[in-house]
């Protein structure tokens, strides 16, 4: 059965490029990003892992731990990391999971038979501290992921988890947000003292509450 938003993220134990891990224990009380790659030594993935490593500080300041997954062995991962570090001028320090039996790929529905019978597609999952799946993005193997968008979505998820707001199209951290419809317009000033704008009865905006 496919994994859906709001489902519990399956726990797993795995060998990785940095040793054995238990997924839940590794995450602890952090948010998590788990993303898969078709195989080691693939060109698009090399750029993606390099970009992720370069964004280490951005993930850390959001309390996010990152894990990558490929169906190759941890020994293969370590050799590939040398190439990534060399070609992308970075240092990959996060774990790359070895999923040779494809158990994790199957648990997270990362193999799409019509795309490839054996290779994982580019799936990315954002997982909240309570171990629930909050975001699923799936790219074809030929298209590299946009990690600025991943960070943007994490900003939105963390904001909306703590405040009764939603984020509009193309929203960036620091911009106005939408007050959810469960809050009556007359109740907005008490909840959002920075002010608000009523565009339509169902569309009310307010400055980002945590800025």
Cβ neighbours of residue 199 closer than 8 Å, sequence gap 6 or more: 205
State the sign of the Cα–Cα–Cα–Cα dihedral 102, 103, 108, 109: positive
Query: Which one of the listed residues 14, 45, 96, 133 is annotated catalytic?
Result: 45
The answer to whether the beta carbons of residues 157 and 134 sit under 8 Å apart is yes
Which single residue is written with the structure tokens 């040398």? 82
Number of CB atoms found within 10 A of residue 191's CB: 15
Which single residue is written with the structure tokens 């892992």? 49
Q: Which of 112, 115, 117, 159 has the alpha carbon at shortest distance from 134?
A: 159
Q: Does residue 45 have an active-site annotation?
A: yes
Active site residues: 45
């Amino acid at each position: 059965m496919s994994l859906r938003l709001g489902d519990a993220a399956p726990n797993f134990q795995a060998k990785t490029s940095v040793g054995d891990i238990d997924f839940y224990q590794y995450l602890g009380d952090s948010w998590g990003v788990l993303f898969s790659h078709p195989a080691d030594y693939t060109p698009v993935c090399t750029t993606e892992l390099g970009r992720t490593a370069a964004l280490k500080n951005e993930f850390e300041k959001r309390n996010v731990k990152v894990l990558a997954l490929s169906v190759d062995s941890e020994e293969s991962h370590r050799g590939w990391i040398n190439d990534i570090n060399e070609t992308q001028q970075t240092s990959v320090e996060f774990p790359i999971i070895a999923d040779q039996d494809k158990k994790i790929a199957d648990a997270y529905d990362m193999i799409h038979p019509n795309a490839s019978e054996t290779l994982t597609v580019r799936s990315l999952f954002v997982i909240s501290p309570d171990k629930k799946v909050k975001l699923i993005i799936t790219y074809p193997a030929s298209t590299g992921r946009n990690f600025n968008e991943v960070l943007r979505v994490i900003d939105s998820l963390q904001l909306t988890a703590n405040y009764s707001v939603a984020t509009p199209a193309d929203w960036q951290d620091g911009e106005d947000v939408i007050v959810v419809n469960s809050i009556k317009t007359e109740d907005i000033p008490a909840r959002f003292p920075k002010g608000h704008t009523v565009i339509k009865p169902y569309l009310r905006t307010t400055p980002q509450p945590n800025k």
